[in-house]
Amino acid sequence: MKTKIKIILLGFVAVFTSCSEDFLVTEPTATLTAEAVAEAAEINPAVGKGTLLGIYENLYRRGSGGSTAQEDFGITSIYMNMDILCADMAHLGKSFSRQRNISELTATLDPDSNVNRMPWRFLYRIINLSNLIIDAAGGNDVVPSTQTAKFNIGQAKALRGYAYYNLIHMYVNDISNLSQNVLPIYASANDLEQPKSSLQEVFDFALKDLLEAETLLEGFVREDKIEINQDIVRGIIARTYGALNNWQQTEIYAKKVIDAGNHTIMSNDEVALLPGETGEIGGFNDVKSVSGIMWGVDITPEGQGLASLFSWWGFMDQYSYSYAAVGNHKGIDADLFAKFRADDIRRLQFDDANSSDLRPAGKFYYKGAHLAGFRRFSGPQLNIDSDSHYMRIAEFYLLHAEAAAENGNYAAARTSLKALLNIRLTDASYIDALPDSDLAEEAALQARLELWGEGQSYYIMKRRRETRTRGSNWLDFKGESFSHDDERLTFEIPQDEIVGNPNITDQN
């Protein structure tokens, strides 16, 4: 599978890089068209799958946001920035000025900043490439005539819906104000210079894509965890309904993911570096062998060729030979860490004998860190072979608990909460004693603790319309509070998009 991906994607890399400075929405149709994809697919049905793999590659490839910045490496680079913005990931060091303008909340006020431009280009590129597949198959309303076409269109619609889900959160201050005009919708690769649609319309478009993908992906068996199957799209649907506070549908779809029974909650060995452990178990660095990881990419040096300086691992793993080891540290917010119960195994993800700044020394570490005795800056992960993940089954136990509690289904909320906490805690009986009115907030808190550093806390903040306060270990704005709709926490529409699209004249 890895060789196949590498061969198929060579042409797409050239397409993406050659168009990186073009107008944001039309790229890369100057060199790749729906007609070309359709004609090639008539000769070789594998072309559709190859095009999909080209889209998936953007999730982890350096430069997928159209820049040469070392912080431009797909969805996990965006996750890091959002984790800082929502206050759960404290920025602890400013060496080399990496992500300094995120922590200081200046980049998100500057429409000329690359911080705003990269995710816009990345996500609309996902949309445009998905449109190529959908257009080539006959358009949005086509009824696929073959199973291969059904699965290809299902994945393309899932990816397009996923991209809009992210755009909604990143570029809209208040996601509860559904009447405001916020983002352009591109339903075809032939659509150019679209005006802003209302937030309700964007949500509706994303949900239509995702719900259709759910049906189209019935029976799809993926070859690799990078591909979206029915479990993954149902997880994205649950997230999207959660953002709308449609708790009934959120509960239904989170339960669908759980009841599918295809994934088990990660063990304590897998999520934390336990006392006395010397082997390579855990570290969130291997998506293939861990059932609890639902969606991610299996990285190999020969397959992807990612250098540590240009990767999530380089920015997060203090054992790798990169920024996290040399002064650009990040750790869990001190106030959030204080919310761990004393018997919570997840405390060991951050308990580091050499540091008091709460870095994730026991949560994220590269394959092979144990060979150097977990010594900081031990390398030699110069070329990345540690994997990246985007979704875990634990999220949906907690999201189901949150939604069930909001729906008044308190017994189900307790059951889902304890399914996780009975593993993480010595004694989870406190859940039985919690007032019903506290269960939803407890589920959201446990999601922040369980999924720390995995790019989900920003979405929780917006879903629950929260205000958060930065803790004592921050360098910037220590002790200051920020509302979910604060302008500084939301990305700006890039200035070159406003200049290049005559139908968009203002910021959100």
Q: What is the residue type of 154?
A: G
At 18 the pLDDT is 34
CB atoms within 10 A of CB 180: 14
CA angle (371 as vertex; 370, 376 as ends), nearest 5: 65
CB atoms within 10 A of CB 143: 9
21 found inside a domain: yes
161 found inside a domain: no
286 found inside a domain: no
Averaged pLDDT score across all residues of the chain: 89
287 found inside a domain: no
CA angle (61 as vertex; 58, 65 as ends), nearest 5: 65
Lowest mean pLDDT among 53-67, 249-263, 452-466: 53-67
Higher pLDDT, 383 or 451: 451
DSSP 197-245: EEHHHHHHHHHHHHHHHHHHTTT---SSTTS--HHHHHHHHHHHHHHTT
464 found inside a domain: yes
176-200 pLDDT, tens digit per residue, is 999 999 999 999 999 999 999 999 9
CB atoms within 10 A of CB 303: 17
Q: What is the mean pLDDT of residues 403-417?
A: 98
57 pLDDT above the threshold of 60: yes
At 27 the pLDDT is 39
485 found inside a domain: yes
Q: What's the total number of domains in the chain?
A: 1
Higher pLDDT, 427 or 355: 427
242 found inside a domain: no
Closest residue by Cα to residue 173 from 154, 142, 199, 153:
199
Containing domain of residue 38, as a range?
A: 2-113+392-500
How many residues comprise the chain?
A: 508
222 found inside a domain: no
Residues 89/41, Cβ–Cβ less than 8 Å: no
